[in-house]
Structure 1
Amino acid sequence: MTRDDIGAQAAEQAAFDEVAARLRRDEELWTDFQALCRHGGRMAGTASERAAQDWCEQQLSVFGTVARESTPYAGWRCDHAVLTRLPDGRQLEAVPLLGTAFTPEEGIELPVLDLGRGTPDMITAAGDAVRGHAVMVQHEYPFSTRTVHRRVKLAAAQQAGAAALLVVQPEAGIGPVSGSSGRGGGPGIPAMGISAEAGLALRQPGARVRLCIGGEDLPQARTDTLVLDLPAGQAAHPDERVVLSAHIDGHPLAESALDNATGVAAAMALARAFAPRMHVMRRGLTVCLFSAEEWALNGSREWLAALPQARRAAMALNVNLDSLAGSPRLTALTSGFERLGGFARSGASLAGGDLGVHLPLMSNSDHANFAAWGIPALRLIAGFDEPDSALRLLLTPADTRALVDQGHLRGATVLAAGVLWRALRADSLGGLRNEPAPGGGA
């Protein structure tokens, strides 16, 4: 390395250190996070979601014009949902999975089949015993290399002839677990998340339940994607954009604090820190705040599909912030882009931190929809492969601001700033895309 190279590297570090210092003393990061939590669970289609979107638009408009781009999604409204143990009539702690199929008005009475973890192999092995039953399976820590997602279990149970699915939250004293059914208005079976205590009450020979779930599918539902575009000041790549994203929406059980008030508050803090410095960046920054993420990533999928090709082609990288606290350890889920992990780690080192990397695609947040279009995309997440971390309480009534350590959120935001700085300042990001397979395949 030449003396000039060393000098340039030192100057780059010094310039970034100013951004990091601003973020470390940014009091609005924490007050924004708390304000988002005060809006409640922010489930798509509710007044809570709309109020949070209005508030986020107001906050971002300080840095430029915020577009509210109307986005369709497969909506759903639940008017009532009750799970009752038979024959004693005890009502159990339960919530419907978002978008789940409804029951007849009088409900359905079913025998319960407890399949423990309830993997597809276990469901298949149960054979005809599954048919006509309410199959009970365990909710798993969602951020692990071993996780079998609830929608995988639901699909397997439905295919095997189950009449309903019950997903048990494993920790006592927490309440039921929520989550998306992924049905999207199509065929399905009723599915509910239940508490550990409810699961225990049904783990007995001959257990039976009545499910009553009523509401309406809303196929023409719409939400808004908030978009703030901050052009670059230098002419190296004036048309390219780095997309910084997070999702506003959550679940009605609590405050959706970890998932994802943390990511939204961090995105707004990064916009504050970078907006005055865009004149030294080599490509622009687009901040996207999505909704309907909790609906099987429906919102960002529809938004990306509706964009003109030229607008998607300008997206050089997506940095998605989702669940940034609950553990001091941060991991980049790099969606199968082989060179993206090293790039993200170089940004983390700029911020003086360490970053884990998980290469295989995990379709557990909005980054997956960018990756599906061939756009290099990563999700920054706390607590990956840490099943004892606070992130085990996502999707439950415990996901409140009490779970979030301010130091964890601030450290994650500074580390994200390092990745973002590298992305906005790099000479080229073309090398982050995977090479075409032999024969021209993608």
Structure 2
Amino acid sequence: MNRDWRRPLVGRMLMLLGGCLLLGLVTGEYAWTLVLGLLAQLGWMLGQLIRLHRWLSRREKDEPPPDGYGLWGEIFDAIYHLQRRGQRERGRLQAVIDRIQESTAALRDAVVMLDSEGNLEWWNRAAETLLGLKAPQDAGQPVTNLVRHPRFKEYFEREEYREPLELASPINDDVRLQFQITRYGNAEHLMLVRDVTRLHQLEQMRKDFVANVSHELRTPLTVLAGYLETLVDNVDEVNPRWQRPLHTMQQQATRMQALLNDLLLLAKLEAADYPSDNSPIDIQRLLQSIRTDAVALSGDQAHRIELDVQPGASLKGSEAELRSAFSNLVFNAVKYTPAHGTIRIHWWSDAQGGHLRVSDNGPGIEARHLPRLTERFYRVDAGRASHSGGTGLGLAIVKHVLLRHRGKLEIHSEMGRGSQFSCHFDPRQLLAGPPQPADEED
């Protein structure tokens, strides 16, 4: 293929002009011969363009280009090579796509690709088994029309995909699935679905075991604590050397009862996603009651406990559960803040929802402990927690109560400057105005 196309083109134009001038010399019509020569050249160029268009418009991919020479031969050859290169590249990309689809089809986890609106674009075979998707009729359907659980719809629409969601399979209630969504590209979604039925069963077995053991221990421990209380009440009739052991046993029995009560409360919280007694709660009245209890708990330590509640604050949920969660945070601040320290309880609401903040000027918590504070039985200082009578389950209870009320817990602390525990509730948990007392409904 001739790469230097300029020389033949210039030579052809010179030959054309020379022929036209020679013909004009013979006929004496120089202008007309030049016009006719240029028209002939233009017609030939138009003919080559038509040949090129016909060749490009044909569907046969392997058809060679039309014969040509000079500049047009170069054009035909260049387009042909570009065409072949594009075919090879498309073949390579198609092979990659085929391999990816084959590998994802072999996965036991479901892989579902969604567009920016949440409509189904592609899925593997596992998605048909786990979610009941059917090709091709489900293509283009919104995923929330096929996975109809309210919690999935809420999870998808909130677009907060940091934590996975566990739900029963839409086609089999005995199968437990874990949904994890990732954003990519132009706001598209990649949804991975795993079968976690076995893990869920093991976790349920653990919960049932803890709940059953706690329930079975409750009765004998109550009997033991009752006899110890009777003996302590009549300590004057007991040998003096048994007085201290009796008081110690009573303290430990009380601590064991508190531990069992917390374990049973956790089991109850984990048994359902939402509280059964969902009713309006007067936040100001609830926090005032908790502050009164905190002042009594402070006693001789004389903590300064400040309460700041936005007027008309009200929340939807279980008052007993929220009282347990809020009092855990406030009482922890009282226990771990030095005497005469300051504890602030602040409630406010905004466009993001309702917020409770409990802050203190205590010793603070090291940053390495913060991610694990809500784990069961995790203690920053085992000796100090044991001395204070804690069970190690308080913040775990707070976490589960907030999850059941569409809330989350945030912890900030700095050594030597105190700690700050914040509860953030979804706007849907807020009520427009303060709840009305029951006797005013008549």
Q: What's the TM-score once normalised by structure 1's chain length? A: 0.28
Flag the structure with higher helix content. Answer: 2
Q: What's the TM-score once normalised by structure 2's chain length? A: 0.28
Query: Which structure has more RCO (C-alpha within 8 Å, separation ≥ 6)?
Result: 1
The higher radius of gyration belongs to 2
